[in-house]
Amino acid sequence: FDIDVHVRIPERGIHPHELGKRQPPCDIALYGRLGVHCFNFEKGRKLQFMRIPKYNIRPSIWTSYYITVEVKDLVSSHSPELSHKLFFPEQRAFTSFHSNLQTKPEKPGEGAFSLLDDEAVDELYKGRMPNFLSEANPDDRLRFYEVQEQDICENDWLRLYTDFALYCYWQYNEDAFKSCLPSEINKILVETFETHTDPSLKLKSSNAIFHINFTAKSRDYISVARRTMDGKTEHMILQISTWTNPPISP
């Protein structure tokens, strides 16, 4: 994972970036936050994103990012560094983030990342992204849960998903994205085929679809974020579509 920035890298190899005290680009910061969320979600931990000291980029058919994240453990005095790998499969209609995370190994090269298994993802969460829903279907309310204000306060990753949704709309204009922050969440509707006795636990479903309505810089946005997991430890896939107008059904 880690490499010495002073070592000559082949032209088509990994491109290292040492940040020092500088802030990372907006997209790298989001990827780092996603890695922390993935780790917390999988392990039931409460690690807080602090900073990104360095990251590496490997250009290929699927661009891969190897990000080192410094975190603060809100429960324990021990605050480890996390190694996060993220890559982008080619998609046409939506943006897909494949996250693979582990605690940083003591020696470079230890603890190799395992590949994501798309075939293991439930068929109900594959294919094109679902249409945005502003309200639950009356005949199928058991699949839905409307997020409450308390849920947003207790689960800051809901704001992360909203930031990702905004970024996916402005991803080719970083200045525009930054000028739209912070965004305001108006409503989130969670949809999942997993059953829970407490409706609020749908937020914790491994596979879930989030219908997000939010406002940024006086403009209203709607977004669909689909979170899926392949059953392997520390793997998460987040797929997002965002519009300023309701999409036209195919």
Report whether pLDDT(248) > 90: no
Say how far apart CA 114 and CA 174 lie, in whole Å.
Answer: 31
Q: Across residues 126-138, what is the average pLDDT?
A: 85
Say how far apart CA 35 and CA 49 lie, in whole Å.
Answer: 9
- Lowest mean pLDDT across 32-36, 235-239, 246-250: 246-250
What angle, 0 to 180 degrees and rounded to 10, lies between the N-to-C axes of helices 157-170 and 26-43?
A: 150
| pLDDT value of residue 117 | 64
Say how far apart CA 84 and CA 142 lie, in whole Å.
Answer: 35
Mean pLDDT score across all residues of the chain: 81
Say how far apart CA 86 and CA 200 lie, in whole Å.
Answer: 29
Residue with tokens 């790998």: 85
Q: Across residues 162-175, what is the average pLDDT?
A: 95
Q: Contact at 8 Å (CB) between 216 and 180?
A: yes
Report whether pLDDT(110) > 60: no
142 token code pair: 């058991």
More confident residue, 136 or 210: 210
Domains and CATH numbers, the chain: 15-103 (3.10.450.10), 121-243 (no CATH)
| pLDDT value of residue 105 | 45
Q: Contact at 8 Å (CB) between 160 and 207?
A: no
Counting residues of the chain whose pLDDT is more than 90, the rounded percentage is 42
pLDDT in tens, 57-75: 887 777 788 888 888 888 8
In 3D, which of 95, 66, 237, 84 has the Cα closest to residue 166?
A: 95
Residue with tokens 């305001």: 184
pLDDT in tens, 177-229: 999 999 999 999 999 988 888 888 999 999 999 999 999 999 999 999 999 98
CA dihedral 122, 112, 32, 190 (to 10 degrees): 10
| pLDDT value of residue 182 | 95
| pLDDT value of residue 240 | 93
Q: What are phi and psi of 141, to 5 degrees?
A: -70, -20
Report whether pLDDT(166) > 50: yes
Say how far apart CA 153 and CA 178 lie, in whole Å.
Answer: 22
pLDDT band at 98 (very low <50, low <70, confident <90, very high): low
Say how far apart CA 249 and CA 245 lie, in whole Å.
Answer: 12
pLDDT band at 246 (very low <50, low <70, confident <90, very high): low
The string over 175-203, giving b where at least 16 C-beta atoms fall within 10 Å of a residue's C-beta and e elsewhere, is eebeebeebebeebbbbbeeeeeeebebb
Dihedral sign, CA of 210, 158, 242, 214? positive
Rg (CA), the chain: 18
